[in-house]
Structure 1
């Protein structure tokens, strides 16, 4: 609740703040677009051809903004979704404070996470649930890919013209959904690369904890960084050049997401040190480099999660009655009833 209230208060502070997005909109439009575009442009040849096009990268870049653009629908819509964009950790990686769950030991379900926060006397809305938003988005995309694999294989083999036409149309529908869900996952992975979306110091250093280094407590800190400064400094070529090599071995979703968010948390103090040194002034190369590194971290992680979701989908089962993706792709199972339905 306090995070949302701070965002609304920031919008009343004058023209300088009005030029930047509310503090709950990590990266603003520019950053989210660049993360989505760079991730898709970095996909390897093993991914479906419809994703490895300029049109697909542009589409995912635009759709990566969508979770911010849907805000303001009312309740319960906004309350359920606004808290998906962040997770407020203390400097040790515990949610809000030492009494909260550790990012390394998150409960299996979000409902269990909420219960743990309440038991610790913490406000669920203050904590945020970004790790679960990322994991949910990944799992949805893997299901999308599994469905696409089945439809694509069935369309190529089907000899009945009516069934083949339906497979083609449903594959096209699934491709549109895949782009949409890649955008949504891209948004939350992008949020996770913005240091302010992983910390209790989300908009100036928290006034609830000691501040011996005298870091700024300005409530304009968050919006000015991710909005106007990022829009001026960020460049797609620089983001792509800074992206890490793929890291695809030994994947465990429940370990990977916390590790990613902890890497971003480690950049919170460097951000405030740089801010104190004036590094985010207009045209400052130090601030530009920081932005580029953070956007590249988001794009690298997103690219990898796209590839991993694609690989995971090969071992999935889909539809009802369920069929194994591998059997349909091998031509040993007929997916018609699983895909079209028998009722």
Structure 2
């Protein structure tokens, strides 16, 4: 894949210059940890108590790095995962170029997205499919929370000791899965807050009209999101910069493109700041920019987590399916749905 190959080459060169290991990731380890930890630490009281602990925040922070740590598994593993970290849009919000899909007109299925790109002569490996990774992660979290709700309610009401013990064990398994799945969602949401993961200008401005004379250095991407963030950004500053929750009028297929377009809009400001020498430790402007983008990612993860929790109360889960609301109200027995009727 052209984008990933270029990023790997650039980061290897950049790391050699900085004397640090090469890492191909948005924000690097430090930034991804901050997004996950800040989001969890900001969750409101309506979320389950197991999530609102220092341990859960640390766990999600560590697991936020996992999609980068699993790279290099071979094919088809890498093909289906490496392109999930980005979507390269032109300055008008079209995938790669004017012939590509608009971010505001994404089809429902990724397979339809692939087909539309192919029809336009665009390779999905070059385009990326980050919006689908975020949407998929959110939907998985809704299912996780729905299962947890059922198990938690059933455990509290069950009078049979054997069944109650099983519900408890399965609830604990689900809590571990929720932390893992939140970590994965955190990673992709964090990727989406990094402007260079939303733009064709992802590592230097590239071979496009460049009237402002922006850099074409292949070290631009990696040096910003990795070592610079590690040296200049603090978790408490990210938390302080997080915008207020936006939880009304939620529509997943509108929310995700809007989020990615907001990041794309920061691409030119990034390059202007880079040209002005802002990304050095002695210039507060660079740290402020990075902090704001990490805070945007943390706030989006916080909001998606709350929205997933709320949505989980309205669905059915298990097989044969039971309604979460009925189990929580005590009007449905979920035993067969949870353990399996066979």
TM-score clears 0.5: yes
Report how many residues are paired: 341
Counterpart residue number, 2:241 = 242
CA distance in 2, matches of 1:18, 1:259: 37
Contact 2:11 2:222 in 1 (8 A): no
SS in 1 for 2:167: helix
SS in 2 for 1:156: helix
Counterpart residue number, 2:228 = 229
Counterpart residue number, 1:170 = 170
- Cα displacement (A) at 1:26: 0.1
Deviations 1:267-309 (A, max 9, x none): 0000000000000012320000000000000000000000000
SS in 2 for 1:153: helix
Aligned ranges 1:1-343 → 2 under 5 Å: 1-13=1-13, 15-16=16-17, 19=20, 21-22=22-23, 24-207=24-207, 209-343=208-342
CA distance in 2, matches of 1:29, 1:234: 12
CA RMSD across the alignment: 1.0
Contact 2:87 2:131 in 1 (8 A): yes
Gaps of 5+ in 2: none
- Cα displacement (A) at 1:195: 0.5
Deviations 1:173-215 (A, max 9, x none): 00000000000000000000000000000000021x1011100
Contact 2:11 2:223 in 1 (8 A): no
SS in 2 for 1:143: helix
- Cα displacement (A) at 1:256: 0.1
Runs of 4+ that moved beyond 3 A: none
SS in 2 for 1:192: helix
- Cα displacement (A) at 1:20: 5.8
Gaps of 5+ in 1: none
- Cα displacement (A) at 1:315: 0.1
CA distance in 1, matches of 2:251, 2:12: 43
- Cα displacement (A) at 1:21: 4.1
SS in 1 for 2:13: coil
- Cα displacement (A) at 1:4: 1.4
CA distance in 1, matches of 2:170, 2:115: 40
CA distance in 2, matches of 1:203, 1:17: 17
Contact 1:195 1:268 in 2 (8 A): yes
